[in-house]
Structure 1
């Protein structure tokens, strides 16, 4: 039962869903008026580009034996998916979330791009960082920034995300997917770009 629960945590809080959670969190919390059709169009685009497209590309890579599992256990397996993800995020920044439209989400995704690039470069040098921690900590820092920006109480979100990040770390350690060092590297890699870009929109 414990093993199933910890595996489920890694699956439910997979890195692919974190960008979408960030977008939905922003639209839910922002006091700015953004027409519902525009919100729906952005969310639809993010779902297609950050979830459906990567899953389809994963199955293609698995078919040609470039990856073994969706968790990308080795640094060699990570190279192509991370590069593809960098291209996808760049496309989002150019076509979906431009800086003159929704600046907060633009810098959120710019932070995601920087974190992904850092993870890609580390993989080239055979340094393995937890992608789960990168994604969760990036969203966590963005949520804090949104709360500060709009002066709204997000204590519940912060508490929940701290529990989720702890659960993800416990899950990855239990499954022997990462070491403590790899989790810490992932945490820093996700947090730092979001923290760095806060000054451009706060």
Structure 2
């Protein structure tokens, strides 16, 4: 039962869903008026580009034996998916969430790009960082920044995210997917780009 729950945590809080959660959280908290058709178009685009497209590309890579599982256990099999994710994120920054439209989400995805590039460079040098922790901690930092920016009480969200971060770390350790050092490296790789980029929009 414990194995099932911990595997479920890794699956439910997979890195692919974190960008979408960031977008949905932003739209739920921003006091700015954004027409519903624009919101829906942005959310739909993010779902297609950050979830559907990567999943389809994963199955393609699996078919040609470039990856073994969706968790990308070795540094070698991380390289192509991480590079593709960088390209997709650049596309989002250019076509979907431009800096002159929704600046908060633009810098959120710019932070995602920086974290992904860092993870890609680490993988080149055969250093693993937990992608689960990178994605979750990046969203966590963005959520905290939005709370400060809009002066909203998001203590419940912060507490929930800290529990989720702990659950993800526990899950990855229990499944022997990462060491403590890889989890910590992932945590800082996710947080620091978002933290540094706050200077440009907060």
CA apart distance, 1:184: 0.2
Q: Where in structure 2 are the equivalents of 1:164-175 lying within 5 Å?
A: 164-175=164-175
Q: Who is 1:85 aligned against?
A: 85
**CA distance in structure 2 between the partners assigned to 1:22 and 1:94 by the alignment:** 18
TM-score, structure 1 normalization = 1.00
Q: Where in structure 2 are the equivalents of 1:30-45 lying within 5 Å?
A: 30-45=30-45
CA apart distance, 1:130: 0.1
TM-score, structure 2 normalization = 1.00
Which runs of no fewer than 5 residues in structure 1 stay unpaired? Answer: none
Q: Who is 1:97 aligned against?
A: 97
Q: Who is 2:116 aligned against?
A: 116
Q: Where in structure 2 are the equivalents of 1:12-91 lying within 5 Å?
A: 12-91=12-91
CA apart distance, 1:21: 0.0
Which runs of no fewer than 5 residues in structure 2 stay unpaired? Answer: none
Q: Where in structure 2 are the equivalents of 1:104-183 lying within 5 Å?
A: 104-183=104-183
Query: How many residues end up aligned between the 2 structures?
Result: 202
**CA distance in structure 1 between the partners assigned to 2:117 and 2:201 by the alignment:** 22
CA apart distance, 1:124: 0.1
CA apart distance, 1:20: 0.1
**CA distance in structure 2 between the partners assigned to 1:119 and 1:199 by the alignment:** 23
**CA distance in structure 1 between the partners assigned to 2:167 and 2:33 by the alignment:** 35
3-state DSSP class of the match of 2:187? helix
**Residues 67-96 of structure 1: per-residue CA shift (max 9 Å, x gap):** 000000000000000000000000000000
CA apart distance, 1:187: 0.1
* Structure 1 consecutive aligned stretches of length 4 or more whose deviation exceeds 2 Å: none
**Residues 84-123 of structure 1: per-residue CA shift (max 9 Å, x gap):** 0000000000000000000000000000000000000000
**CA distance in structure 2 between the partners assigned to 1:37 and 1:146 by the alignment:** 23
**CA distance in structure 1 between the partners assigned to 2:94 and 2:196 by the alignment:** 20
CA apart distance, 1:22: 0.1
CA RMSD in angstroms, aligned pairs only:
0.2
3-state DSSP class of the match of 1:79? helix
**Residues 166-185 of structure 1: per-residue CA shift (max 9 Å, x gap):** 00000000000000000000
**CA distance in structure 1 between the partners assigned to 2:124 and 2:108 by the alignment:** 25
3-state DSSP class of the match of 1:69? coil
**CA distance in structure 1 between the partners assigned to 2:193 and 2:39 by the alignment:** 25
**Residues 109-144 of structure 1: per-residue CA shift (max 9 Å, x gap):** 000000000000000000000000000000000000
